[in-house]
Amino acid sequence: MAAAACVPVRVCHQEIVKFDLEIKAAVQDIRDCPGPLSALTELNAAVKEKFRHLRGRIQELEQMAKEQDKESEKQALLREVENHKKQMLSNQAAWRKANLACKIAIDNSEKDQLLQGRDSLRQRKTTKESLAESASNITESLMGISRMMSQQVQQSEETVQTLANSSRTILEANEEFKSMSGTIQLGRKLITKYNRRELTDKLLIFLALALFLATVLYILKKRLFPFL
């Protein structure tokens, strides 16, 4: 690609690193969240949005990698894409664990509050409904991410197959080139041999002509000047 294309790649890398750090910080906020559940829901919404941006940047980087002219640069970028995907999966696992830990802490806190009066019973019911809704939202988000990763894996398999086909084509072309080189060398040897044979034939013709002329001169001399 042109040198100008390096700028979007560098910017894309920087944004991926930025979103990765922001997600890590947000996951830590979830882990430390004391409640209530509405605060946890807001934090999860923010994390979900950051994951959406991160996935978009990773897809952009993968597309840039496929558009590289040099195979070495293309493969290097694709390896970085795979590393970013693995890091994203690690962040998702940390996000899930942080949510579970936070929900357990909130649930324990609510249980303590239940011991203090009847009003806490209503709050617990609301909390369970919110927890179920939040869990459903997280499950839906994770399913969407899983589908996206499945598509990426399929695209990676197709890329590997394309590379294998290209390698086969190059090997076949190399074999044809070797065969043509052998034919060219044989032709060169035949031409050299023919040139040598032609030179020998010319020399023999010249000697035969000279002998013929000498014989003619000798015969003329004997007939015209027998006394010599």
> What residue segments make up the domains of the chain, in order of their start?
1-112
Give the C-alpha separation, 27 to 21, whole Å.
10
Taking the model in full, what pTM does it have?
0.45
Residue pointed to by tokens 């050299």: 192
Residue 207 amino acid letter: L
What is the distance between the alpha carbons of residues 87 and 77, in angstroms, rounded to a whole number? 15
One-letter amino acid identity for 69? D
Residues 155, 148: Cα–Cα separation, whole Å? 11
DSSP 42-57: HHHHHHHHHHHHHHHH
**Average pLDDT of 70-88?**
89
> Environment class of residue 101 by beta-carbon count within 10 Å: exposed (0-12), middle (13-18) or buried (19+)?
middle
Range among 13-22, 134-143, 200-209 rated most confident: 13-22
> What's the confidence (pLDDT) of residue 5?
45
Which tokens is 151 given?
């598509």
Phi (first) and psi of residue 34, to 5 degrees: -85, -5
Compute φ and ψ for 35, nearest 5 degrees: 110, 180
Indicate the CATH number of 1-112 among 1.20.58.400, 1.20.1250.20, 3.40.50.150, 1.10.3470.10. Answer: 1.20.58.400
Which tens digits make up the pLDDT trace of 208-224? 888 888 888 878 877 77
Mean pLDDT, the chain, rounded, equals 81
